[in-house]
């Protein structure tokens, strides 16, 4: 049949074949558009991780690994043989968590996937887990810590607070990570010198519009309380102005700017540690911006957290499918930061660095001679190292002030939480004691009511 059609087209002309000219015209119109859509999809999909490093024997602790980009990162690392420890707010007996871990084990053929209960909205829950992890001899193995958990309030939404009274974005995106790493720091520094230890922070491009609280100098307790009040407590209902002290967008961007500033300070904290074996620091801190992806958080932001917004999102879904990355594509930056050999502590190998001023891409062959090891924090975007766009991140003064203010804030909130729990425990104990006393009195009165007068011997004598 095809041979006959070709012969007929050669002898009688293409116009003699019914509908062929129409089909060719349609193809000439549609094929360029399909090619354009494919090119745009490839462009918006971002860079891919080309590292083929195996992760067998690595112990990786992760937050935010049950959905979105974190789930994609956990699945890929587990499929490469890594032991994954999921830090989740779900109870360990939660059917969702149990099914999720069992499915992940089956998909990756890796049984070394476990979970630990850590509620990042509670400083006390973080301390309970972290101290239990650190309080172990010999120190537990910990090769990598990937912090993917984040939250924010949708545009137009009301500000919410954590269990300790912090604004949710500030408390979970920054303070929770600060508190967790402050306690786990000894576990990271105690790792043998031959291990490649990495701490990977998840970030967002909104940090460029963020503003740190008033931290120009090392704060006193009074200034700490002042800066803390900007990020804590719901707005007073009796206030004449219903406007909260900060907007959701400013709280979100400020939390990421603070997180990146802390990441730079934490790298210096690890590098300054004098190891007993005199070996150089083997821990690298990296910050990853995965780009805009179709995650549950992004969907919540696009829909403004409303049903009407969700309807609009569904109607415009083809547009978001085109311009937003999938969770797997957004995970490529994290995977590159976790697996790329040139990012090993000490600056081994050449790294691609984007020039902030000229916008050019150059190659830097590690630290210069005599400058020591390259132990600066690295910012990863699209599977390459780029420069920070805010000077506060690399400012030692801002780092010191932020660290001190955060320490004082955590100390203050933990004291308040401990006092609150002690009062609740005392109140519960007094209520339980009074209830037992009431039950005992009721039992005694009930026994007296049913007791017959006199004993059996006295009644017999009568």
pLDDT (average), residues 410-426: 89
Is the per-residue pLDDT at 119 higher than 60? yes
| Tokens 């400012």 belong to residue | 395
For the beta carbon of residue 40, count every other beta carbon within 10 angstroms. 12
Dihedral in degrees, nearest 10, Cα atoms 64, 70, 76, 81: -20
Angle in degrees, CA 166, 169, 173, rounded to 5: 105
**Calpha distance 334→202 (Å, rounded):** 8
How do residues 348-366 score in pLDDT, each as one tens digit? 433 333 333 334 333 333 3
Is the per-residue pLDDT at 226 higher than 70? no
Query: pLDDT at position 70, please?
Result: 92
Return the structure tokens found at 402. 């932020």
**Calpha distance 268→258 (Å, rounded):** 16
**Calpha distance 394→125 (Å, rounded):** 31
Mean pLDDT of the chain: 80
Query: pLDDT at position 52, please?
Result: 84
**Calpha distance 113→59 (Å, rounded):** 10
Query: pLDDT at position 28, please?
Result: 80
pLDDT (average), residues 47-52: 88
Among 24-28, 98-102, 159-163, whose mean pLDDT is lowest? Answer: 24-28
Listed ranges 37-41, 196-200, 245-249; the one with the highest mean pLDDT: 196-200
Among 185-194, 247-256, 306-315, 316-325, whose mean pLDDT is lowest? Answer: 247-256
How do residues 193-219 score in pLDDT, each as one tens digit? 889 999 999 998 888 888 887 654 443
pLDDT (average), residues 295-313: 87
Is the per-residue pLDDT at 367 higher than 60? no
Q: What are phi and psi of 286, to 5 degrees?
A: -130, 145
CA distances from 42 to 37, 227, 323, 328, 415 (A): 9, 44, 10, 14, 52
Question: Which residues in 103-161 belong to E strands, given as ranges?
Answer: 113-117, 144-147
179 exposure class (CB count in 10 Å sphere: 0-12, 13-18, 19+): buried
**Calpha distance 403→258 (Å, rounded):** 10
Task: Characterize 313-335 residue by residue with b for buried, 16 or more Cβ atoms within 10 angstroms of its Cβ, and e for exposed.
Answer: beeeeeeeeeebbebbbbbbbbb
14 exposure class (CB count in 10 Å sphere: 0-12, 13-18, 19+): exposed
With a pLDDT cut of 90, the percent of the chain lying above it is 40
**Calpha distance 351→353 (Å, rounded):** 6
Query: pLDDT at position 256, please?
Result: 92
How do residues 318-338 score in pLDDT, each as one tens digit? 999 999 999 999 999 999 999
For the beta carbon of residue 449, count every other beta carbon within 10 angstroms. 7
How do residues 62-87 score in pLDDT, each as one tens digit? 999 998 999 999 999 999 999 999 99
CATH number of 59-234+245-290+325-410: 3.40.50.720
Is the per-residue pLDDT at 13 higher than 80? no
**Calpha distance 90→120 (Å, rounded):** 11
Is the per-residue pLDDT at 133 higher than 50? yes
């Amino acid at each position: 049949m095809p041979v006959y059609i070709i012969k007929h087209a050669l002898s009688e002309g293409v116009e003699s074949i019914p509908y062929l000219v129409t089909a060719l015209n349609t193809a000439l119109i549609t094929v360029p558009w399909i090619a354009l859509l494919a090119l745009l999809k490839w462009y918006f999909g971002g860079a891919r991780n080309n590292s083929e490093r195996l992760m067998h024997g690595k112990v990786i602790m992760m937050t935010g690994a049950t959905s979105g980009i974190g789930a994609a990162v956990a699945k890929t690392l587990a499929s490469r043989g890594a032991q994954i420890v999921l830090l989740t707010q779900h109870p360990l007996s939660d059917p969702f968590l149990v099914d999720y871990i069992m499915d992940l084990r089956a998909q990756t053929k890796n049984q070394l996937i476990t979970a630990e209960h850590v509620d990042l909205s509670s400083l006390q829950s973080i301390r309970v887990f972290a101290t239990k992890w650190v309080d172990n001899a010999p120190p537990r193995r910990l090769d990598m810590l990937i912090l993917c958990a984040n939250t924010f309030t949708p545009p137009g939404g009301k500000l919410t607070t954590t269990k300790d009274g912090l604004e949710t974005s500030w408390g979970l995106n920054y303070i929770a990570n600060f508190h967790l790493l402050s306690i786990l720091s000894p576990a990271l520094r105690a790792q043998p010198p031959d291990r490649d230890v990495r701490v990977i922070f998840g970030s967002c491009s909104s940090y460029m519009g963020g503003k740190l609280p008033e931290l120009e100098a090392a704060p006193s307790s009074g200034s700490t309380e002042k800066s803390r009040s900007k990020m804590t407590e719901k707005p007073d209902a009796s206030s004449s102005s219903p406007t909260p002290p900060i907007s959701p967008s400013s709280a979100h961007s400020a939390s990421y700017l603070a997180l990146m500033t802390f990441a730079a300070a934490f790298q210096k904290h690890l590098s300054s540690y004098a190891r007993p074996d005199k070996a150089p620091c083997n821990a690298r801190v990296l910050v990853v911006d995965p780009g805009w992806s179709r995650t549950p958080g992004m969907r919540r932001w696009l829909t403004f957290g409303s049903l009407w917004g969700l309807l609009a999102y569904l109607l415009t879904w083809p547009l978001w499918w085109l311009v937003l990355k999938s969770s797997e594509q957004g995970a490529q930056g994290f995977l590159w930061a976790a697996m790329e050999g040139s990012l090993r502590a000490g600056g081994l190998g050449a790294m691609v660095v984007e020039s902030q001023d000229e916008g050019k891409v150059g190659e830097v062959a590690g630290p210069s001679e005599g400058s020591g090891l390259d132990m600066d924090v690295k910012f990863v975007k699209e599977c390459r190292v780029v420069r920070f766009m805010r000077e506060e991140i690399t400012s030692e003064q801002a780092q010191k002030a932020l660290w001190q203010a955060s320490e004082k804030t955590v100390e203050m909130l933990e004291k308040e939480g401990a006092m609150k729990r002690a009062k609740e425990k005392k109140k519960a104990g007094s209520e339980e004691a009074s209830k037992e006393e009431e039950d005992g009195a009721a039992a005694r009165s009930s026994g007296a009511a049913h007791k017959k007068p006199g004993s059996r011997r006295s009644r017999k004598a009568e």
